[in-house]
Structure 1
Amino acid sequence: MTQTHSAPRSAETVAHHRPAFHLRPPRGYINDPNGPIEVGRDVHLYFQFRPTLDLDVPVEWGHATSSDYVRWTLHRPAMAPLPGGPDRDGCWSGNTVRDGDRIRAFYSGRIDGRPYQSVLTAVSDDGGNSFGPPRQSIPDPLPSEQAIMFRDPFVWREHQAWWMAVGAGYTDRGASIALYRSTDLQDWTAEGALAELPRSHAAGEDTGAAWECPQVLTLDGRRIAVVSSWSPEGGPNQVLSFDVDTPANPHRVDHGTNFYAASALRDSRFGPLLFGWLTEGRDSPGWTDGWAGVISLPRVVWLGADSSLRSAPVPTVDSLRTGSGSAADGARTTPHCEIEVPRGSGRVVVHFDDQERLEIELDEAANTLAINRGQAGLDPHAHDGWMQATDAFDRTSERPAARVFLDGSVVEVFTSAGRVLSTRHYPTTPPPWRIEAPPNARHWTLAR
C-alpha cells in the first residue's frame, strides 16, 4: 500500500464498509461457500464460518436460504465439529446432493496434526437445516502416493452413476482431481485422475501445485472443471477453469484480485451457477470491526468462444434496484448501488473525497476493462493495485458494456462479454459519494 496515513478507525468510520446485499453474517469470519442446493422454492447455501475472527476456532458450516438468490435469511449453523469425531477440528469444504428424501453432504473433516483432511459424509433429514454425525467415505491417501494435499469433495450424478471429484496435488504428478464412482453414495471405487497438470504458467497464471475446491459443470455437452490453484509456499492463488476431456488449458475465472474457492450449483432455475468467497483485500490488523469475508453474487455461467468460463449476475439482482437515475457527472450515491454503462468506451470514477477514488476504465478499441484502486483509500491496511480483463466486450450482446456493483467494501464488475472482476476497497470517507461517468450511464440504489 503506497499511502502511509489514515483516518482514525472506529465503528462509525467503517460502517460503510459492510455489505448490504452480499451474503455474510453480522460478525465472525467466513470463507468458502459450500453445497448450494435447491430444495422446493428455496436455495440453501452453506459456507465456512467461525463466529469470531480467531482463526484457531474450528470451522462450522454456516447456513442461509433464499427464495430469489439475492435476499438471504441466516440460520444457525447446519453442521459443527463432532467432539472426538473425524471432523473434531473443523468441518471444511464440500457440497450437497439429494439422496432420496434426504440431503447428503460430502466434506473435508479436519483433525489437527494429520497430513490430510478426510473425506466425510453426513445426512440431513430435515430438509438441509442440520446434518447428523459423519462417517468417512473414501480412504486417505497412502504415504506411497506422495500426496501434498487431498481435500474438498464435489459429488454429482451423471450417466446413471454418482461421481466424486477430490482436490489433490502430488509430489511427482502436480495438481490433480482424483475421481471416484458409486452407485449408491455409500461405496466408492477409485477411477484414477479426472485431470492432472504439472505446475506451470498458463496465460500468465500459476496453475498451482495442487487444486482445491474442484467443481465439475456440464456446459455445451462438455465437462468443465473449476479449480482453485494452491501451493504450499504461497497458499491460495486463482480460480481456473478448463475442459477435462482435452489437454488442460486453464483460463482464469475472475480477473479481479479477491475471488476464490468457487462453489457450483450444476442445475438451478437459472442454469449452472457459481458462488465464490470474496477475500478481504486488507491485512488482518485492519479487521477491527468484528467481521471478515463475504460471499459473491451468484453468477450464471457459460462458455465463451475460447472455452473460458463467462459470467453474469443472477437476473433477480435487478429486483434490488430502487431510485433509478442518470449516473452522469455529479450524481450522488450510497455504498450500495449499481452503475450501468450501456455501450462504448468510458470512465467510471467513484469519488469518495478529493483524495480517495475508485477508477474503472472501459476501452472499446482495446477491448479491455480495468479497475484501479491505487487511490481507493487511505487505510494503510487496505490493498491497492490495478487489474484488467481482456476480450471484455461483445457488441452483439444485449448485455450492457459494464455493470458495476458496489456493496460497502465489495466491488464486482461484469462486462458484456461475460468477464468479471471482483475486488475490495476501503475508503475512509463516509458517503454520500460522487459518480463521474459517461452521459448515458445509469445508476440505481440497491436495497434488500
Structure 2
Amino acid sequence: MRTMARQHSRPRWHYSPLQTWMNDPNGLIHYAGTWHLFYQSNPSDDRWGNMSWGHATSPDLLTWTEHHVALWHTDSEEIFSGSCVFDATNSSDLGTADWPPLVAIYTANYRPGSERHGTQAQCLAYSLDGGSHWTNYSGNPVLDRGSANFRDPKVFRHGDAWVMVAVEAENQQVVIYRSTNLVDWTYCSTFGPAHAAAGVWECPDLFELPVAGHDETRWVLLVNVNPGGVAGGSGCQYFVGDFDGHTFTPDRVIATSTDRDLGLDDPLLRSYDWFDYGRDCYAVVSFADAPGGRRIVLGWMNNWDYAADVPLTGGRSIMTIPRELDLVLLDDGYRVRQRPVRELPVDALQHHALAAGDRVVINGVALEYHNGVLSLDRRGVGMNDFHEAFGSRQWAEVPGEPETVHVDVLVDTCSIEVFAAGGLVTISDLVFF
C-alpha cells in the first residue's frame, strides 16, 4: 500500500494513482466506515490497455491510500467498468448470513482466444474481507446479450429487488434489468436515444434526489457521452423524471441530436441538461450506501480527445473532487445542484462575486461573466500545446441571468473546478499551471 496525500507536485485534493493509467471510477461504495474507490486501470503502463480495477480507500474522501489491483485482466478478458454493492441479506448466496459479501458487477470485455471474443457481458466477483481480496463467480457471465457494446452496469437496491442500469453504447440506449439475487436478471425496459446521442453512451447511473425546499424527490439518470459533450469530446448529461422500479420516464424529452458536427454554440446542444460545462468531467457515477442519505458522485477529470497526451508524470489522470448532489426547482424545471463535499476545508475554496462584465484571473485562467454567461478560458495557460484540442474556452448560461453571480473555485496543482450560482453551474478543466 502507498499513501497519496499532499505530496510535492501531486494533486492536493484529488485522487491520482502513483504510477499507472486511470480512467472511469468504478465500484464506488461506503462500507464499514471507509470510502472505496475502484477504477479502470492499466496496471503495467500509463496508457490505456489491459483494463483492470485499481483500488483506493479513504476515511474522508480527500486523503486516499492506493492498494493492490482488485480485479485483474486475464488472457481471455479485460475488466471494464461496473459497480459494487453490499449484499446485506446474502441474496446472492456468495457469502453467509453472518458474513454477507461485497459484490462487484463488472463488464467482461472478451479478448481473442475467448469463445465470446468480440462481445461484452456482465459478470460478478465477490469479497468476504471488505474489498481487499476478490473471487470471480464461477457462473460468469450472469448477463449476456451477445452484444459487442453492452457494458457499464450500475446496480442498486430498489424495494425487494436489485436494479441494473447498463448501456448498449453504440445504440445510445440505457437498458434496465431486475434481479432478486444478483445472478438471475430479467429485462425491464430501454431508454433512449434521447438528447445528446452523437457519440457512444457510457457509465449510466440512476438515483433518487431530494428537491431543496420541497417535500418531494425526483429520479435522476446520468448518461455519459463521448464524443458529443457540450464542451467538445467527452461529457455527461442528465435527465430528471420518474422511476417505478422497471421504467424510467423523463419529465421532458426535446429533439434528439445525432449530429457529430453540431457546433458547441448550437442552441439545441445547449438546451440539454449538462452535468458539467467543462472539458474534463466524464464517467460520473455515485457512491453506494453513503451515510446519512447523501448522494456523492465522482468523475474522471479528463477528456478522451487528449487523455493519452496530458503531461502528467507518474499516474496519468486524476478524479474530480467528490461532489454532493440535490435538486433545485426552477421556473423551467428541475436542475441538479452540486457542491464540493463538506469534508473539503472551507479555506480550500476561493470565493468571487462577478457582476456583468467582470473578469478575474486565477493563476492565468480567466473567469468572466457577461450577458448571463459564465466562461472559463484556459487558452495560453501553462502547458497546453501537447494537443490541438486542449487550449479552449468553456462557457455556460447562468439560470435567471442574475446581475451578480457568486462562484466558488477549487484550484489544485493541475485542475480548476468552478461552482457557480450555488452549484447550479459547474465548469471543470485540467490546467497544467
Question: TM tier, shorter chain?
Answer: 0.7 to 0.9
d(CA) in 2 for partners of 1:119, 1:288: 32
RMSD: 2.9
> Does residue 291 of structure 1 match 2:315?
yes
d(CA) in 2 for partners of 1:301, 1:55: 32
Paired position in structure 2 for 1:230: 226
Using the size of structure 2 for normalisation, the TM-score is 0.77
The superposition leaves residues 37-89 of structure 1 with CA deviations (integer Å, 9 ceiling, x where unpaired) of: 111221111111123445464122111111211122222122212x45xxx44
Paired position in structure 2 for 1:408: 413
Is this contact kept in 1: 2:46–2:315, CA < 8 A?
no
Paired position in structure 1 for 2:326: 302
Map 1:126-275; keep pairs closer than 5 Å: 126-134=129-137, 135-142=139-146, 149-169=149-169, 174-193=171-190, 195-197=191-193, 202=195, 206-220=196-210, 221-230=217-226, 237-243=234-240, 244-246=248-250, 247-248=252-253, 250-265=272-287, 267-269=289-291, 271-275=294-298
Deviation at 1:375, TM superposition (A): 2.0
Paired position in structure 1 for 2:27: 35
Q: 2:80 aligns with which of 80, 92, 110?
A: 92
d(CA) in 2 for partners of 1:209, 1:141: 21
Map 1:387-402; keep pairs closer than 5 Å: 387-391=394-398, 401-402=406-407
Deviation at 1:158, TM superposition (A): 0.8
Name the amino acid aligned to 1:42.
T
Name the amino acid aligned to 2:431.
H
Deviation at 1:284, TM superposition (A): 3.9
4+ residue stretches of structure 1 with deviation over 3 A?
15-18, 51-57, 247-250, 280-288, 342-346, 392-395
d(CA) in 1 for partners of 2:17, 2:85: 24
User: Closer, same or farther in 2 for the Cα pair 1:285/1:208, shift >3 Å?
Assistant: closer
Name the amino acid aligned to 1:407.
D
Is this contact kept in 1: 2:157–2:163, CA < 8 A?
yes
d(CA) in 1 for partners of 2:310, 2:422: 35
Map 1:61-140; keep pairs closer than 5 Å: 61-81=53-73, 83=74, 88-100=76-88, 101-113=100-112, 114-134=117-137, 135-140=139-144
Paired position in structure 1 for 2:368: 361
The superposition leaves residues 207-240 of structure 1 with CA deviations (integer Å, 9 ceiling, x where unpaired) of: 33542111011124322110111369xx963211
d(CA) in 1 for partners of 2:227, 2:119: 15
User: Closer, same or farther in 2 for the Cα pair 1:136/1:208, shift >3 Å?
Assistant: farther
d(CA) in 1 for partners of 2:325, 2:339: 7
Paired position in structure 1 for 2:386: 381
Name the amino acid aligned to 2:177.
Y
Name the amino acid aligned to 1:386.
R
Secondary structure of the structure 2 residue equivalent to 1:197? coil
Name the amino acid aligned to 1:27.
Q
Q: Which ranges of structure 1 fall in alignment gaps of 5 or more residues?
A: 1-14, 322-336, 352-356, 428-448
d(CA) in 1 for partners of 2:143, 2:32: 34
Using the size of structure 1 for normalisation, the TM-score is 0.74
Name the amino acid aligned to 1:310.
R
Give identity over the alignment, percent.
26
User: Closer, same or farther in 2 for the Cα pair 1:92/1:240, shift >3 Å?
Assistant: same
User: Closer, same or farther in 2 for the Cα pair 1:231/1:343, shift >3 Å?
Assistant: closer
User: Closer, same or farther in 2 for the Cα pair 1:378/1:314, shift >3 Å?
Assistant: closer
